[in-house]
Amino acid sequence: MSKSAPWKLSPSKFHFGFDNCQRCYCLDIKDGITQPGSFPGVFSKFDSIHKNFFTGQHTSEVLKDIPAGTFIKGPGDKFLESKLIEFDDPNMNCFISGKGDAFLELDDGSYAIIDFKTSKIKDSLVWSYSTQLHAYKYALENNRPDKPGLAPITRMGLLVFEPASMTKSSNDTYNILHNAKWFEVPIDDQKFLRYVEKVVSILAQPGLPDSSSNCNFCKYRNLNIS
C-alpha cells in the first residue's frame, strides 16, 4: 500500500535521492521501491573508527581550521526525529528521521554537527551534504520530546579523509595514511525549509514526477526487453 502524509524524510536521501531523480525518490518514499545496491560496508567501518578515535579530543589536536571544541558522542548512536513540520496542505506534512554522525561541544557553549567522510577531497562535497546536515540540525533543535535534542547548533561541516599512501607496521598489519581537510557548511535554515517544502509538494502529488534525464535506473526500468 502506498504511503501518505505525514511523510518520513531521511536526511541521507535528499541529495542522493531527490536531487538525483524525483521519480525514483517518490517510488522509494511512497511505495518502498528502493534502488538496487547498497553502501559498501567498509565505509561504515571507517566511520566507526573515526568516531571512536576522535571522541573526547579537542579540535586543536585535529586540524587548525575546525571550530574550537571537543568531540562528543552526543546522540550519535540514536535515531533523531523532529516534531511534525506542518503546511497549509496537510498532505505535505512531514518529519525528519535519521542518525547523525559526530558532534562537537564548542568552546563557546554551543554545538556543531560533523560528518566524517572517506572520499576524494573536493569542494563540491559541501553542496552534496548540505541538506543532510541541515536535516540533522533541524531534528536536533526541533526534536520530539522522546527523541534526542541538542541546541543551539551554530556550526556544521565535513571532516574528509582521502587515502594517500600505505605503510607496513608488522607482518600482517598495514597502515593507510590519509590526507584530511575540514569543509565548513554554511547554515541557512530558511533555505532548508524551502527545500523540504519542495520535496513534500512532489510527494503530495497523486502521480509520479518525470524521470531525471540522467537516471540510469529509470532508463533500465523503461527498457523494452523482447
Check pLDDT > 80 for residue 210: yes
State the pTM of this model: 0.93
In the predicted model, what is the mean pLDDT of residues 15-38? Answer: 90
Per-residue pLDDT tens digits for 130-148: 999 999 999 999 999 999 9
CA dist., res. 163 & res. 180, Å (int): 9
What is the distance between the alpha carbons of residues 156 and 103, in angstroms, rounded to a whole number?
A: 9
| pLDDT, position 77 | 80
pLDDT confidence bin for 38, thresholds 50/70/90: low
Segment 153-169 shows an average pLDDT of 95
Q: 48-51: long-range contacts (C-beta < 8 A, 24 or more apart)?
A: 50/102, 50/116, 50/159, 50/161, 51/76, 51/101, 51/102, 51/116
Query: What pLDDT band is residue 159 in, cutting at 50, 70 and 90?
Result: very high
- The single residue listed with the C-alpha cell 522509494 is 28
Residues β-bridged to residue 28: none
CA distance 47 to 115: 9
CA distances from 223 to 24, 133, 220 (A): 16, 36, 5
The tens digit of pLDDT for each residue in 63-75 reads: 989 999 999 998 9
